[in-house]
Chains A and B, each alone.
Chain A
Amino acid sequence: MKNGIRFDPRTKFILLLGVNMLLLLSRSLFLELALFLFCIFILLVDKRYKNAVIYLIAFLLMLFIDRFLSGCFTGFYFTIINFIVYALRRFMPCLILGKWILDTTAVSDFVATMWKIKLPLTVIIPLSVVFRYFPTIKEEWESIRAAMKIRGISFSVEHVFVPLIFSAVNVSEELSAAALCRGLDAPGEHTSLVEIKMSYIDYLFLALFVSITIAAFILKGMGII
């Protein structure tokens, strides 16, 4: 990555899952704020200042709607809107982390991680194909639409799906020939340009998250949150 500190993809995923589970532990504002600030802190360390500010404003706005406006306005529709805002706010830490993972993890990082954690080939091969095939689908889609326009065919499921599946079958044959030539199924260890390694920053943030979790459970046990 060109800026910020590089996190290990494994750390990112553990944090996402951990925050997601911890979020449902309690509905206290205190825990919510702690998790939210933890996510903002990650963004700051990764030098994503703009995103951090946007999230902070959105969070404060949603908190304001929930805490203050609900006292002024009453009414059925406002209750529904408030409910949606409430649910969105509660899941905001997950949203922040998810967006962060999508932004900062390149496909090659992801594939290298899969080799590193020694997933079976049955998982690695399809998944590496999936991410590289998306741009092709877009191209195929545009060509199909153009061909339909020339022939004056109106949009229907059959007219889209049949050529799309035909092209997918062809692509899959070409792709497997190319991949086999490059030794995709070669036995033994595969090397990669991208090196996946846990660094001090990964351990630091995992430790921070574990301490938040322990603190949350202790406070929960004491009945404070």
Chain B
Amino acid sequence: MSSNKENVKKSRNLVSAGVFIALYFVVFVIVGTICMPIPPLYLCMLPLIALFASPVYQMLITKAPMHGPIFIAAMLPCLFLLMMGNIWIVVLTGIIAGVFAEIIAGMGEFKSASSNMISYFVFSLNLLGGFLPIWVMREEYFKSTLDRGMSQDFVDKLRAITPGWVLIAIIVATVICGFIGIQIGNKMFAKHFKKAGIA
């Protein structure tokens, strides 16, 4: 009987996890549709998602403190991007970010605030692979334009506006925005959810 009860509790957690994963995905889609068409904003996508998704992530961990849901949440947007014609590397970074976020959150038994925060930083980098094509394609494009006799001058100019350090800047900005997001989330939790007794 007790194992049955345990089972019911587990299924209940999994259903809640599904609901919050869906909410996270919606945040991703909304930020994505705003950012995608505008090239400079496109690079801000990861930090912006990290900023807004943190209450959902914190709720996900509170409602489903188990292994599995975090990984699925990290993978789902990656698979979606893959379907939209993105490079397969995005799935790879999704898996890496998901697994590490799981492990880090699991070290604090999904309850420690600091390990949850660090796991959120790692989790937020899940889509990093989606930005790599800019650099992969760039080198390829340079080669093909040089083949056809375009001047080195253009290549240098294009190279200058897409420098490699942007990738590192994205990572740093994501962590900073994730930190701010977690602070906002904590305030929201203290102000509303803890009072209502659902967190």
Contact B19–A172 (Cβ < 8 Å)? yes
8 Å CB contact of B157 from A76, A99, A121, A123: A76
Q: For the complex, is A213 an interface residue (Cβ under 8 Å from B)?
A: no
Contact A161–B14 (Cβ < 8 Å)? no
Contact A165–B22 (Cβ < 8 Å)? no
Contact B21–A126 (Cβ < 8 Å)? yes
Q: How far is the CB of A220 from chain B (nearest CB, A)?
A: 15
CB neighbours of B145 from chain A (8 A): 70, 79
Contact A126–B23 (Cβ < 8 Å)? no
Q: For the complex, is A166 an interface residue (Cβ under 8 Å from B)?
A: yes
Contact A175–B158 (Cβ < 8 Å)? no
CB neighbours of B32 from chain A (8 A): none
Contact B22–A176 (Cβ < 8 Å)? no
Q: Closest chain A residue to B198 by CB distance? A: A169
Could you tell me how many residues of chain B have their Cβ less than 8 Å away from some Cβ of chain A?
Answer: 56
Q: How far is the CB of A208 from chain B (nearest CB, A)?
A: 20
Q: Closest chain B residue to A87 by CB distance? A: B137
Q: How far is the CB of A96 from chain B (nearest CB, A)?
A: 8
CB neighbours of B143 from chain A (8 A): 27
Main secondary structure on A side of the interface with B: helix
Contact A176–B67 (Cβ < 8 Å)? no
Known contacts A130-B18, A180-B11; decide if A16 and B188 are in contact (CB<8 Å): no
Q: Closest chain A residue to B161 by CB distance? A: A80
CB neighbours of B56 from chain A (8 A): 161, 165
- Chain B positions 86 through 122: 1 when the CB is less than 8 Å from some CB of chain A, otherwise 0: 1110000000000000000000000000000000000
CB neighbours of A80 from chain B (8 A): 158
Q: For the complex, is A95 an interface residue (Cβ under 8 Å from B)?
A: yes
Contact B22–A137 (Cβ < 8 Å)? yes
Contact A179–B15 (Cβ < 8 Å)? yes
Q: For the complex, is B33 an interface residue (Cβ under 8 Å from A)?
A: no
CB neighbours of B72 from chain A (8 A): 123, 126-127
Contact B59–A165 (Cβ < 8 Å)? yes
Main secondary structure on B side of the interface with A: helix
Contact A185–B26 (Cβ < 8 Å)? no
Contact A87–B133 (Cβ < 8 Å)? yes
CB neighbours of A104 from chain B (8 A): none
Contact A133–B22 (Cβ < 8 Å)? yes
Q: Closest chain A residue to B134 by CB distance? A: A87
Could you tell me how many residues of chain A have their Cβ less than 8 Å away from some Cβ of chain B?
Answer: 56
Contact A126–B17 (Cβ < 8 Å)? yes
In the complex the two chains form, what is the Cα distance from A161 to B25 in whole Å?
A: 14
CB neighbours of A121 from chain B (8 A): 11, 14
Q: Which of B6-55 contact A (CB under 8 A)?
A: 7-8, 10-12, 14-23, 25-26, 52, 55
Contact B15–A129 (Cβ < 8 Å)? yes
Contact B88–A137 (Cβ < 8 Å)? no
Nearest 6 pairs of A and B residues by beta carbon: A129-B18, A95-B85, A98-B83, A126-B18, A122-B68, A176-B15
Instruction: Mark B residues whose CB is within 8 Å of A.
Output: 7-8, 10-12, 14-23, 25-26, 52, 55-56, 59, 63, 66-69, 72, 76, 82-88, 133-134, 136-138, 140-141, 143-145, 148, 150, 154, 157-158, 184, 188, 192-193, 196, 198
13 contacts between A and B (CB under 8 A): A70-B145, A87-B137, A87-B141, A95-B84, A126-B18, A129-B21, A137-B23, A164-B23, A166-B192, A169-B63, A171-B19, A180-B8, A185-B10
Known: A122-B69, A123-B72, A125-B14. 6 other contacts (CB 8 A): A74-B154, A80-B158, A87-B134, A126-B21, A168-B23, A180-B12
